[in-house]
Amino acid sequence: MQTNLIGHISTIFREKFGHVPAHIARAPGRVNLLGEHVDYNDGFVLPAAIDRATYIAFSPTGAPHSTLWAADFDQQVSFSPETISTKSQVDSSPIPEWGLYPAGVMWSLMEETLPAFSMNAVFASDVPRGSGLSSSASVEMAFMLAWQTLGGWTLPPMRRALLGQKAENHYVGVNCGIMDQFASACGVENKLLLLDCRSLEWKTIPLPEHVSIVIADTTVRRKLTSGEYNKRRAACDEAVRLLQQDLPYIESLRDINVEEFNRLAKKLPGEIEKRARHVVEEIERSNQAEALLEAGNVRNFGRLMNECHISLRDLYEVSCPELNVMVNIAQSIDGCYGARLTGAGFGGCTVNLVARENAIEFSRTLAKGYELETGLPPEIYITRASNGAELLR
Ligand code: GLA
Protein backbone atom coordinates (compact mmCIF):
# COMPACT_ATOMS: atom_id res chain seq x y z
CA MET A 1 0.00 0.00 0.00
CA GLN A 2 2.79 2.40 1.06
CA THR A 3 4.84 2.00 -2.15
CA ASN A 4 1.71 2.35 -4.30
CA LEU A 5 0.73 5.61 -2.67
CA ILE A 6 4.25 7.03 -2.85
CA GLY A 7 4.40 6.17 -6.58
CA HIS A 8 0.94 7.66 -7.07
CA ILE A 9 1.69 11.03 -5.43
CA SER A 10 5.14 11.24 -7.03
CA THR A 11 3.65 10.76 -10.50
CA ILE A 12 0.98 13.40 -9.91
CA PHE A 13 3.62 15.75 -8.49
CA ARG A 14 5.72 15.45 -11.67
CA GLU A 15 2.65 16.07 -13.83
CA LYS A 16 1.55 19.12 -11.86
CA PHE A 17 4.85 20.76 -11.04
CA GLY A 18 7.15 19.48 -13.80
CA HIS A 19 9.88 17.91 -11.64
CA VAL A 20 10.35 15.16 -9.07
CA PRO A 21 9.43 16.09 -5.49
CA ALA A 22 12.35 16.96 -3.20
CA HIS A 23 10.87 15.06 -0.26
CA ILE A 24 8.36 12.42 0.76
CA ALA A 25 6.92 12.14 4.28
CA ARG A 26 4.31 9.99 5.94
CA ALA A 27 2.19 10.37 9.07
CA PRO A 28 0.01 7.50 10.30
CA GLY A 29 -3.55 7.23 11.54
CA ARG A 30 -4.16 5.61 14.91
CA VAL A 31 -6.35 3.12 16.67
CA ASN A 32 -7.21 3.50 20.34
CA LEU A 33 -7.45 0.42 22.54
CA LEU A 34 -8.64 1.96 25.78
CA GLY A 35 -9.35 5.38 27.26
CA GLU A 36 -12.04 6.75 24.95
CA HIS A 37 -13.29 10.31 25.31
CA VAL A 38 -10.99 10.84 28.27
CA ASP A 39 -8.10 12.74 26.66
CA TYR A 40 -9.90 16.07 27.06
CA ASN A 41 -10.63 15.12 30.68
CA ASP A 42 -6.94 14.71 31.59
CA GLY A 43 -7.23 10.90 31.56
CA PHE A 44 -5.05 8.08 30.19
CA VAL A 45 -5.23 6.78 26.64
CA LEU A 46 -3.74 3.71 25.01
CA PRO A 47 -3.52 4.21 21.26
CA ALA A 48 -1.13 2.84 18.63
CA ALA A 49 -0.13 4.43 15.35
CA ILE A 50 -1.29 2.12 12.54
CA ASP A 51 0.19 1.02 9.23
CA ARG A 52 -2.12 3.31 7.24
CA ALA A 53 -0.97 6.84 6.70
CA THR A 54 -1.11 10.12 4.82
CA TYR A 55 1.77 10.46 2.34
CA ILE A 56 2.97 13.80 1.07
CA ALA A 57 5.37 14.63 -1.77
CA PHE A 58 6.68 18.19 -1.52
CA SER A 59 9.24 20.73 -2.69
CA PRO A 60 10.00 24.31 -1.74
CA THR A 61 8.83 26.95 -4.21
CA GLY A 62 9.81 30.56 -4.82
CA ALA A 63 6.11 31.49 -5.17
CA PRO A 64 4.54 33.61 -2.40
CA HIS A 65 1.89 30.97 -1.82
CA SER A 66 1.71 27.21 -1.19
CA THR A 67 -0.12 25.05 -3.70
CA LEU A 68 -1.42 21.74 -2.41
CA TRP A 69 -3.03 19.04 -4.51
CA ALA A 70 -5.24 16.51 -2.72
CA ALA A 71 -5.02 13.37 -4.86
CA ASP A 72 -7.97 11.82 -2.98
CA PHE A 73 -10.26 14.69 -3.99
CA ASP A 74 -8.67 15.72 -7.31
CA GLN A 75 -8.67 19.25 -5.98
CA GLN A 76 -6.12 21.93 -5.33
CA VAL A 77 -5.80 24.84 -2.87
CA SER A 78 -3.41 27.79 -2.92
CA PHE A 79 -2.99 29.94 0.16
CA SER A 80 -0.37 32.19 1.70
CA PRO A 81 0.31 33.68 5.14
CA GLU A 82 -1.74 36.72 3.99
CA THR A 83 -4.87 34.73 3.14
CA ILE A 84 -4.72 32.25 6.03
CA SER A 85 -6.55 34.26 8.69
CA THR A 86 -9.65 34.69 6.49
CA LYS A 87 -9.58 31.00 5.52
CA SER A 88 -9.38 32.04 1.89
CA GLN A 89 -7.24 31.17 -1.10
CA VAL A 90 -5.09 33.49 -3.17
CA ASP A 91 -8.04 33.97 -5.59
CA SER A 92 -10.24 34.95 -2.57
CA SER A 93 -12.40 31.81 -2.78
CA PRO A 94 -12.89 29.96 0.55
CA ILE A 95 -10.48 27.15 1.43
CA PRO A 96 -12.47 23.89 1.05
CA GLU A 97 -12.96 21.78 4.17
CA TRP A 98 -10.14 19.32 3.42
CA GLY A 99 -7.76 22.26 2.96
CA LEU A 100 -8.46 23.65 6.44
CA TYR A 101 -6.23 20.97 8.00
CA PRO A 102 -2.99 21.95 6.20
CA ALA A 103 -3.98 25.62 6.32
CA GLY A 104 -4.58 25.26 10.07
CA VAL A 105 -1.08 23.84 10.45
CA MET A 106 0.39 26.86 8.65
CA TRP A 107 -1.74 29.12 10.86
CA SER A 108 -0.53 27.50 14.09
CA LEU A 109 3.10 27.73 12.94
CA MET A 110 2.59 31.42 12.20
CA GLU A 111 1.15 31.86 15.71
CA GLU A 112 4.46 30.48 17.02
CA THR A 113 6.40 32.68 14.59
CA LEU A 114 7.92 29.55 13.07
CA PRO A 115 8.52 29.85 9.32
CA ALA A 116 6.14 27.91 7.08
CA PHE A 117 7.79 28.49 3.72
CA SER A 118 5.79 28.14 0.51
CA MET A 119 5.66 24.65 -0.89
CA ASN A 120 4.19 22.68 -3.75
CA ALA A 121 2.74 19.44 -2.47
CA VAL A 122 0.67 16.44 -3.47
CA PHE A 123 -0.81 14.24 -0.78
CA ALA A 124 -2.97 11.13 -0.47
CA SER A 125 -4.04 8.87 2.35
CA ASP A 126 -5.08 5.29 2.92
CA VAL A 127 -6.55 6.14 6.33
CA PRO A 128 -10.29 6.04 5.62
CA ARG A 129 -11.86 9.44 6.30
CA GLY A 130 -14.44 9.83 9.07
CA SER A 131 -13.77 6.31 10.29
CA GLY A 132 -12.42 7.00 13.78
CA LEU A 133 -8.82 6.31 12.71
CA SER A 134 -7.68 9.95 12.79
CA SER A 135 -7.25 10.72 9.13
CA SER A 136 -7.31 14.45 10.01
CA ALA A 137 -4.50 14.19 12.53
CA SER A 138 -2.45 12.23 10.00
CA VAL A 139 -2.88 15.02 7.44
CA GLU A 140 -1.91 17.62 10.05
CA MET A 141 1.17 15.72 11.18
CA ALA A 142 2.28 15.07 7.59
CA PHE A 143 2.13 18.79 6.78
CA MET A 144 3.75 19.72 10.08
CA LEU A 145 6.72 17.54 9.16
CA ALA A 146 6.82 18.97 5.63
CA TRP A 147 6.96 22.56 6.92
CA GLN A 148 9.52 21.56 9.53
CA THR A 149 11.68 20.03 6.79
CA LEU A 150 11.54 23.19 4.68
CA GLY A 151 11.72 25.63 7.60
CA GLY A 152 15.00 24.50 9.08
CA TRP A 153 13.55 24.30 12.59
CA THR A 154 13.01 21.17 14.67
CA LEU A 155 10.36 20.61 17.27
CA PRO A 156 10.02 17.47 19.38
CA PRO A 157 7.16 15.25 18.17
CA MET A 158 4.95 16.10 21.17
CA ARG A 159 5.27 19.82 20.41
CA ARG A 160 4.28 19.18 16.81
CA ALA A 161 1.29 17.22 18.10
CA LEU A 162 0.23 20.11 20.34
CA LEU A 163 0.46 22.57 17.46
CA GLY A 164 -1.64 20.22 15.33
CA GLN A 165 -4.25 20.06 18.08
CA LYS A 166 -4.23 23.85 18.28
CA ALA A 167 -4.86 24.04 14.53
CA GLU A 168 -7.80 21.68 14.85
CA ASN A 169 -9.25 23.44 17.93
CA HIS A 170 -8.87 27.03 16.82
CA TYR A 171 -8.68 26.92 13.03
CA VAL A 172 -10.77 23.94 11.93
CA GLY A 173 -13.13 24.33 14.91
CA VAL A 174 -13.17 20.81 16.38
CA ASN A 175 -12.51 20.84 20.10
CA CYS A 176 -10.49 17.59 20.04
CA GLY A 177 -8.05 16.39 22.68
CA ILE A 178 -4.39 15.52 22.13
CA MET A 179 -4.61 11.76 21.57
CA ASP A 180 -4.76 11.61 17.76
CA GLN A 181 -1.99 14.06 16.95
CA PHE A 182 0.11 12.51 19.72
CA ALA A 183 -0.22 8.99 18.31
CA SER A 184 0.44 10.15 14.75
CA ALA A 185 3.54 12.10 15.83
CA CYS A 186 4.97 9.74 18.46
CA GLY A 187 4.00 6.22 17.30
CA VAL A 188 6.49 3.38 17.82
CA GLU A 189 6.58 0.21 15.75
CA ASN A 190 4.97 -2.81 17.43
CA LYS A 191 4.14 -0.84 20.56
CA LEU A 192 1.09 0.57 22.25
CA LEU A 193 1.48 4.09 23.62
CA LEU A 194 0.29 4.96 27.10
CA LEU A 195 -0.21 8.71 27.47
CA ASP A 196 -1.11 10.66 30.58
CA CYS A 197 -3.08 13.48 28.97
CA ARG A 198 -2.50 15.78 31.95
CA SER A 199 1.28 15.63 32.33
CA LEU A 200 1.81 14.57 28.69
CA GLU A 201 4.23 11.94 29.95
CA TRP A 202 4.10 8.76 27.93
CA LYS A 203 5.69 5.38 27.55
CA THR A 204 5.43 2.41 25.24
CA ILE A 205 3.85 -0.87 26.19
CA PRO A 206 4.61 -3.99 24.17
CA LEU A 207 1.64 -5.68 22.63
CA PRO A 208 1.67 -9.32 23.78
CA GLU A 209 3.12 -11.52 21.02
CA HIS A 210 0.14 -13.80 20.68
CA VAL A 211 -2.48 -11.14 19.94
CA SER A 212 -3.44 -9.17 16.84
CA ILE A 213 -5.26 -5.88 16.56
CA VAL A 214 -8.07 -6.19 14.06
CA ILE A 215 -9.84 -3.09 12.78
CA ALA A 216 -13.39 -3.48 11.45
CA ASP A 217 -14.86 -0.60 9.48
CA THR A 218 -18.67 -0.51 9.52
CA THR A 219 -18.37 1.85 6.49
CA VAL A 220 -21.06 3.98 8.15
CA ARG A 221 -20.15 7.66 8.25
CA ARG A 222 -22.17 10.10 10.32
CA LYS A 223 -22.48 13.77 9.52
CA LEU A 224 -22.44 16.46 12.24
CA THR A 225 -19.95 14.42 14.24
CA SER A 226 -17.98 17.48 15.30
CA GLY A 227 -21.13 19.14 16.71
CA GLU A 228 -21.95 16.07 18.82
CA TYR A 229 -18.31 15.78 19.85
CA ASN A 230 -18.18 19.38 21.04
CA LYS A 231 -21.44 18.80 22.97
CA ARG A 232 -19.93 15.82 24.84
CA ARG A 233 -16.96 17.94 25.75
CA ALA A 234 -19.19 20.75 27.01
CA ALA A 235 -21.14 18.22 29.14
CA CYS A 236 -17.89 17.16 30.83
CA ASP A 237 -16.98 20.79 31.55
CA GLU A 238 -20.44 21.34 33.01
CA ALA A 239 -20.07 18.25 35.23
CA VAL A 240 -16.77 19.61 36.58
CA ARG A 241 -18.37 23.01 37.26
CA LEU A 242 -21.24 21.41 39.22
CA LEU A 243 -19.02 18.97 41.13
CA GLN A 244 -16.72 21.81 42.14
CA GLN A 245 -19.51 23.06 44.42
CA ASP A 246 -18.70 20.11 46.70
CA LEU A 247 -15.12 19.43 45.60
CA PRO A 248 -13.60 22.85 44.89
CA TYR A 249 -10.14 21.36 44.29
CA ILE A 250 -11.08 19.33 41.21
CA GLU A 251 -9.88 20.65 37.89
CA SER A 252 -11.19 17.92 35.64
CA LEU A 253 -13.04 14.60 35.84
CA ARG A 254 -9.61 12.97 36.28
CA ASP A 255 -9.62 14.31 39.83
CA ILE A 256 -12.64 12.38 41.06
CA ASN A 257 -12.72 8.63 41.68
CA VAL A 258 -15.69 6.33 41.15
CA GLU A 259 -16.59 6.22 44.85
CA GLU A 260 -16.69 9.97 45.25
CA PHE A 261 -18.56 10.27 42.00
CA ASN A 262 -21.22 7.81 43.17
CA ARG A 263 -21.68 9.87 46.31
CA LEU A 264 -22.29 13.10 44.38
CA ALA A 265 -23.82 11.80 41.16
CA LYS A 266 -27.41 12.54 42.23
CA LYS A 267 -26.62 16.24 42.19
CA LEU A 268 -26.00 16.19 38.46
CA PRO A 269 -28.76 16.45 35.84
CA GLY A 270 -29.41 13.01 34.25
CA GLU A 271 -27.61 13.50 30.97
CA ILE A 272 -24.59 15.21 32.52
CA GLU A 273 -24.38 12.41 35.07
CA LYS A 274 -24.27 9.74 32.35
CA ARG A 275 -21.56 11.54 30.38
CA ALA A 276 -19.42 12.14 33.46
CA ARG A 277 -19.91 8.58 34.73
CA HIS A 278 -18.50 7.21 31.49
CA VAL A 279 -15.43 9.40 31.84
CA VAL A 280 -14.79 8.67 35.51
CA GLU A 281 -15.19 4.90 35.03
CA GLU A 282 -13.21 4.87 31.78
CA ILE A 283 -10.29 6.62 33.45
CA GLU A 284 -10.42 3.95 36.14
CA ARG A 285 -10.39 1.23 33.46
CA SER A 286 -7.50 2.78 31.57
CA ASN A 287 -5.59 3.05 34.84
CA GLN A 288 -5.58 -0.74 35.00
CA ALA A 289 -4.36 -1.24 31.45
CA GLU A 290 -0.63 -1.14 32.02
CA ALA A 291 -0.53 -3.68 34.84
CA LEU A 292 -2.81 -6.07 32.97
CA LEU A 293 -0.85 -5.93 29.73
CA GLU A 294 2.46 -6.22 31.50
CA ALA A 295 1.22 -9.31 33.28
CA GLY A 296 0.09 -10.69 29.92
CA ASN A 297 -3.50 -10.72 31.17
CA VAL A 298 -5.08 -10.11 27.78
CA ARG A 299 -8.33 -11.71 28.88
CA ASN A 300 -9.03 -9.13 31.58
CA PHE A 301 -7.77 -6.32 29.39
CA GLY A 302 -10.25 -7.47 26.72
CA ARG A 303 -13.02 -7.39 29.31
CA LEU A 304 -12.24 -3.73 29.95
CA MET A 305 -12.55 -3.09 26.21
CA ASN A 306 -15.97 -4.75 26.21
CA GLU A 307 -17.08 -2.69 29.23
CA CYS A 308 -15.82 0.42 27.49
CA HIS A 309 -18.08 -0.29 24.53
CA ILE A 310 -21.17 -0.69 26.72
CA SER A 311 -20.33 2.58 28.44
CA LEU A 312 -19.81 4.43 25.14
CA ARG A 313 -23.10 2.99 23.90
CA ASP A 314 -25.30 3.56 26.95
CA LEU A 315 -23.72 6.40 28.93
CA TYR A 316 -21.76 8.50 26.47
CA GLU A 317 -24.18 7.65 23.65
CA VAL A 318 -21.70 7.85 20.81
CA SER A 319 -22.31 4.44 19.25
CA CYS A 320 -24.72 3.57 16.43
CA PRO A 321 -26.61 0.40 15.45
CA GLU A 322 -23.98 -0.75 12.97
CA LEU A 323 -21.13 -0.37 15.49
CA ASN A 324 -23.18 -2.35 18.02
CA VAL A 325 -23.82 -5.13 15.49
CA MET A 326 -20.09 -5.28 14.65
CA VAL A 327 -19.13 -5.46 18.33
CA ASN A 328 -21.77 -8.05 19.26
CA ILE A 329 -20.76 -10.40 16.46
CA ALA A 330 -17.04 -9.95 17.22
CA GLN A 331 -17.49 -10.77 20.87
CA SER A 332 -19.16 -14.08 19.98
CA ILE A 333 -16.31 -15.30 17.74
CA ASP A 334 -13.57 -17.66 18.97
CA GLY A 335 -10.32 -15.98 19.91
CA CYS A 336 -11.78 -12.50 20.49
CA TYR A 337 -10.62 -11.05 23.80
CA GLY A 338 -12.31 -7.68 23.46
CA ALA A 339 -14.16 -5.54 20.94
CA ARG A 340 -15.41 -1.97 21.01
CA LEU A 341 -15.90 1.12 18.92
CA THR A 342 -12.74 3.16 18.55
CA GLY A 343 -12.27 6.92 18.21
CA ALA A 344 -15.00 9.51 18.58
CA GLY A 345 -17.82 7.15 17.54
CA PHE A 346 -21.07 7.90 15.65
CA GLY A 347 -19.97 5.42 12.95
CA GLY A 348 -16.56 4.33 11.71
CA CYS A 349 -14.52 1.47 13.09
CA THR A 350 -14.32 -1.03 15.89
CA VAL A 351 -11.07 -2.30 17.40
CA ASN A 352 -10.74 -5.96 18.26
CA LEU A 353 -8.09 -7.75 20.26
CA VAL A 354 -7.86 -11.26 18.88
CA ALA A 355 -5.65 -14.30 19.44
CA ARG A 356 -3.12 -14.19 16.61
CA GLU A 357 -3.85 -17.75 15.50
CA ASN A 358 -7.55 -16.89 15.10
CA ALA A 359 -7.17 -13.47 13.48
CA ILE A 360 -7.74 -14.45 9.84
CA GLU A 361 -10.70 -16.71 10.55
CA PHE A 362 -12.08 -14.07 12.93
CA SER A 363 -11.92 -11.42 10.20
CA ARG A 364 -13.75 -13.66 7.71
CA THR A 365 -16.48 -14.66 10.13
CA LEU A 366 -16.98 -11.08 11.29
CA ALA A 367 -17.22 -9.76 7.73
CA LYS A 368 -19.78 -12.41 6.79
CA GLY A 369 -21.87 -11.93 9.92
CA TYR A 370 -21.90 -8.15 9.64
CA GLU A 371 -22.89 -8.15 5.99
CA LEU A 372 -25.64 -10.68 6.64
CA GLU A 373 -27.14 -8.54 9.38
CA THR A 374 -26.74 -5.06 7.90
CA GLY A 375 -26.47 -5.62 4.14
CA LEU A 376 -23.24 -3.58 4.19
CA PRO A 377 -19.92 -5.12 3.14
CA PRO A 378 -17.44 -4.05 5.86
CA GLU A 379 -13.71 -3.54 5.53
CA ILE A 380 -11.72 -5.60 7.99
CA TYR A 381 -7.97 -5.71 8.39
CA ILE A 382 -5.30 -6.87 10.76
CA THR A 383 -3.18 -3.86 11.61
CA ARG A 384 0.37 -3.41 12.82
CA ALA A 385 1.52 -0.72 15.25
CA SER A 386 3.78 1.60 13.25
CA ASN A 387 6.21 4.46 13.73
CA GLY A 388 4.95 8.02 13.97
CA ALA A 389 5.39 10.74 11.35
CA GLU A 390 8.66 10.42 9.45
CA LEU A 391 10.52 11.91 6.56
CA LEU A 392 11.08 9.11 4.07
CA ARG A 393 13.32 11.08 1.76
C1 GLA B 1 -11.44 12.05 18.55
C2 GLA B 1 -10.59 13.18 19.12
C3 GLA B 1 -9.67 12.69 20.22
C4 GLA B 1 -10.43 11.88 21.27
C5 GLA B 1 -11.32 10.82 20.60
C6 GLA B 1 -12.21 10.12 21.59
O7 GLA B 1 -10.63 11.13 17.90
O8 GLA B 1 -9.82 13.79 18.10
O9 GLA B 1 -9.00 13.77 20.81
O10 GLA B 1 -11.17 12.72 22.10
O11 GLA B 1 -12.15 11.39 19.59
O12 GLA B 1 -11.47 9.42 22.52
Ligand 1 atom nearest the C-alpha of 134 is: 7
Mean pLDDT, the chain, rounded, equals 97
Helix (H, G, I), strand (E, B) or coil at 140: helix
Ligand 1 centre to CA of 244 (Å) is: 25
Residue 226 confidence (pLDDT): 81
Ligand 1 atom nearest the C-alpha of 178 is: 9
Residues with CB under 6 A from ligand 1: 36-37, 39-40, 134, 176-177, 179-180, 343-344
pLDDT in tens, 312-352: 999 999 999 999 999 999 999 999 999 999 999 999 999 99
Q: What are phi and psi of 192, to 5 degrees?
A: -90, 155
Choose one of 168, 178, 179 to mutate for the ligand 1 pocket test, by most ligand atoms within 8 angstroms of C-beta: 179
Instruction: Supply the residue whose CA is at minimum distance from atom 2 of ligand 1.
Output: 176
Q: What are phi and psi of 220, to 5 degrees?
A: -85, 130
Q: Are 351 and 378 in contact (CB under 8 A)?
A: no
Ligand 1 centre to CA of 118 (Å) is: 30
Helix (H, G, I), strand (E, B) or coil at 155: coil
pLDDT in tens, 235-276: 999 999 999 999 999 999 999 999 999 999 999 999 999 999
Ligand 1 atom nearest the C-alpha of 35 is: 12
pLDDT in tens, 36-94: 999 999 999 999 999 999 999 999 999 999 999 999 999 999 999 999 999 999 999 99
Ligand 1 centre to CA of 176 (Å) is: 6
Residues noted as catalytic:
180
Instruction: Supply the residue whose CA is at minimum distance from atom 11 of ligand 1.
Output: 344
Q: What's the average model confidence in pLDDT over 124-148?
A: 97
Q: What are phi and psi of 24, to 5 degrees?
A: -130, 135
CA distance 323 to 20: 43
Ligand 1 centre to CA of 282 (Å) is: 14
Instruction: Supply the residue whose CA is at minimum distance from atom 8 of ligand 1.
Output: 176
pLDDT in tens, 280-299: 999 999 999 999 999 999 99
Instruction: Supply the residue whose CA is at minimum distance from atom 1 of ligand 1.
Output: 344
Ligand 1 centre to CA of 313 (Å) is: 16
Which CA distances in Å does 62 have to 118, 119, 305, 333? 7, 8, 51, 57
Ligand 1 atom nearest the C-alpha of 136 is: 8
Choose one of 45, 134, 180, 318 to mutate for the ligand 1 pocket test, by most ligand atoms within 8 angstroms of C-beta: 180
Q: Convert 257-302 into a string of H (helix), E (strand) and C (coil).
A: CHHHHHHHHHHCCHHHHHHHHHHHHHHHHHHHHHHHHHCCCHHHHH
Ligand 1 centre to CA of 31 (Å) is: 10
pLDDT in tens, 105-131: 999 999 999 999 999 999 999 999 999
Ligand 1 atom nearest the C-alpha of 39 is: 10
Q: Quick one: pLDDT band at residue 225, thresholds 50, 70, 90?
A: low
Q: What are phi and psi of 291, to 5 degrees?
A: -60, -40
Q: Per DSSP, what are the bridge partners of residue 262?
A: none
